[in-house]
Amino acid sequence: MTRTYPRSLCWFRRDLRLHDHAALYHALTQSAAVHCVFVFDTEILDALTDKQDRRVEFIWHSLRELQQHLQQRGSTLQVLHGKATELIPQLARELGAEAVFCNHDYEPAAVLRDATVEQALAQSGIDFHHYKDQVIFEKSDILTGAGKPFSVFTPYKNAWLKKLDDIHLRAYPTEKYFSALAPCAATEMPDLESMGFAASKLQALKLPSGESGAAALFTDFTQRMPHYHEARNLPAVKGVSYLSVHLRFGTISIRQLAAHAHYTGGTGALTWLSELIWREFYQMLLHHYPLLAQGQTFKPQFNALVFGNDSEKFAAWCEARTGYPLVDAAMRQLNQSGYMHNRLRMVAASFLVKDLHIDWRWGERYFAQQLLDFDLAANNGGWQWSASTGCDAQPWFRIFNPVTQSRNFDAEGKFIRLYLPELANCSNKWIHAPWLMPAGEQQSCGVVIGKDYPAPVVDHALARIRTLALFKNASQ
């Protein structure tokens, strides 16, 4: 095979795997020798206030596995720490690389970073190639008949499915070309401490990292996928895939997941495929409307919503002290593990905005700090959906009742008892609204409301009336 480049560099970012990797495949097939690199980018890390950030540790462990896999093949992964805009051009020059290969990243800051790198490489006569990898369809791949981006999910989904074919789901056969990996001596990774971070409680969560961890989780989920549509809304049940963090950091290929769901078929698999399409819907919106990343509402009339923004109520929400058990259990799950069940993300977000009347952007920022699977497009899309300010969002006059949601989706209170052990002795009758328990019942359960567990910080019925007026005024 004739190779275009004697030497090239493959830059890993949110694609921490060797299997079915678009940029790596193109680098291997176009180059005689491919060097691999990842940069712990200080322009990202310096903005993280929690120096025990679980995401940094998850990336570190995933990189260590990736490096080991490359070293088993006689190559290595160079792991650098500093500004990617400086280190990538510098390393390419040092290696004598004629090209740099990477996969697209759609977040506005990443787009700017890549443009800066491309310009610096061009000044040294080095080519820059980038490819679609983290989604099936990107940017303007799916448009309306008028050539505009979709603003409603279901027509987007239908167009997505209509365009889908075997080619879009075909894996890149990287393994066939590993002989083009550049022979390299083993290299060391910077440890967390040298980068200003410390180990978190990630290992205690028993969340497997790396490509092998993603594969194990996916194998487990394939056995449960037929029942996904029934189990996905029940937080006390093992019903979801738990793959969101692996999709976020690319330790598994979206093509592999979508292909399995598409070819398997059935209600469970196709419901899960629909969730993967929602992910791409939000990525598409961020590309076409980058101001979403700066706090702009998709529906302009709601930019000027006047929220109360009571800081004490916000703290109660963050610290799981709202007095509404399902909301508090959800927030404890987030704070303890960096994960929150998707149904509960909607419940917690709706409660913050429509019960506590706090700006959705406050909640968006808090989730961005806490979520292990934080993804800008999905987080923004989810918050604007719950706040009724976004694209194809929950209508503003539909307001989740946190007690009803609790009874519907955690009927026996199993999830609540798991994260709120102070309510463990409450009967199913009272656990969803324990403030309604008679005093004698509270004493026998060992939980006095206002002492052992907070009284509600707000009356849902009254808050709902205020929310309806708030949005009605903004809509006129």
Instruction: Give tens-digit pLDDT for 375-409.
Output: 999 999 999 999 999 988 788 888 999 999 999 99
What does the pLDDT read at residue 57?
Answer: 96
What does the pLDDT read at residue 393?
Answer: 78
What does the pLDDT read at residue 338?
Answer: 96
Is 270 among the domain residues? yes
Is 240 among the domain residues? yes
What does the pLDDT read at residue 421?
Answer: 97
Residue 87's closest CA among 74, 70, 103, 100?
Answer: 100
pLDDT tens, position by position, 171-216? 999 999 999 999 999 999 999 999 999 998 887 888 999 999 999 9
Q: Residue 233 corresponds to which tokens in the numbers above?
A: 């809304």
Quick one: what percent of the chain has pLDDT higher than 70? 99
pLDDT tens, position by position, 442-469? 999 999 999 999 999 999 999 999 999 9
Number of domains in the chain: 3
d(CA 464, CA 391): 22
Q: Are residues 19 and 92 in the same domain?
A: yes
Q: Are residues 126 and 144 in the same domain?
A: no
Q: Are residues 125 and 20 in the same domain?
A: yes
Q: Are residues 241 and 344 in the same domain?
A: no
Is 188 among the domain residues? no
Is 192 among the domain residues? no
For residue 433, the domain's CATH number is 1.10.579.10
d(CA 326, CA 342): 13
Last residue of a domain, one of 85, 115, 133: 133
Q: Are residues 274 and 354 in the same domain?
A: no
Neighbours of 110 (CB within 10 A): 17
Q: Are residues 273 and 348 in the same domain?
A: no
What does the pLDDT read at residue 392?
Answer: 82
Q: Are residues 108 and 74 in the same domain?
A: yes
User: Residue 53 belongs to what domain range?
Assistant: 8-133
d(CA 10, CA 23): 7
Query: 2: pLDDT confidence band, cut at 50, 70 and 90?
Result: low
Residue 34's closest CA among 43, 25, 21, 42?
Answer: 25
Q: Are residues 335 and 221 in the same domain?
A: no
Quick one: what percent of the chain has pLDDT higher than 90? 93
What does the pLDDT read at residue 205?
Answer: 85
Q: Are residues 432 and 309 in the same domain?
A: yes
What does the pLDDT read at residue 1?
Answer: 57
d(CA 180, CA 210): 23
pLDDT tens, position by position, 239-285? 999 999 999 999 999 999 999 999 999 999 999 999 999 999 999 99
Cβ(254)–Cβ(276) below 8 Å: yes
Inform me whether the pLDDT recorded for 413 exceeds 60: yes
pLDDT tens, position by position, 26-66? 999 999 999 999 999 999 999 999 999 999 999 999 999 99
Last residue of a domain, one of 242, 261, 288: 288
d(CA 436, CA 452): 15
Lowest-confidence pick of 93-102, 256-265, 335-344, 467-476: 467-476
Is 294 among the domain residues? no
d(CA 421, CA 325): 11
What does the pLDDT read at residue 394?
Answer: 82
Q: Are residues 127 and 221 in the same domain?
A: no
Last residue of a domain, one of 133, 155, 189: 133
Is 206 among the domain residues? no
Q: Are residues 159 and 80 in the same domain?
A: no
- Residue 14, phi then psi, degrees to nearest 5: -105, 50
What does the pLDDT read at residue 27?
Answer: 98
What does the pLDDT read at residue 328?
Answer: 98
Tell me how far the alpha carbon of residue 414 is from its chain's centroid.
Answer: 26
What is the rounded average pLDDT of the residues 79-90? 98
Q: Are residues 20 and 44 in the same domain?
A: yes
Residue 132's alpha-carbon distances to 106, 137, 219, in angstroms, are 10, 8, 25
Residue 194's closest CA among 300, 308, 80?
Answer: 80
Is 184 among the domain residues? no
Cβ(370)–Cβ(338) below 8 Å: yes
pTM (predicted TM-score) = 0.96
Cβ(67)–Cβ(187) below 8 Å: yes
d(CA 348, CA 358): 12
Neighbours of 161 (CB within 10 A): 13
d(CA 243, CA 264): 18
Is 352 among the domain residues? yes
Inform me whether the pLDDT recorded for 476 exceeds 80: no
Residue 405's closest CA among 450, 345, 457, 361?
Answer: 345
For residue 230, the domain's CATH number is 1.25.40.80
For residue 118, the domain's CATH number is 3.40.50.620
Q: Please state, rounded to an integer, the average pLDDT across all residues of the chain.
A: 96
Q: Residue 208 corresponds to which tokens in the numbers above?
A: 């497997």
Task: Give the position of tokens 């490489």.
Answer: 121
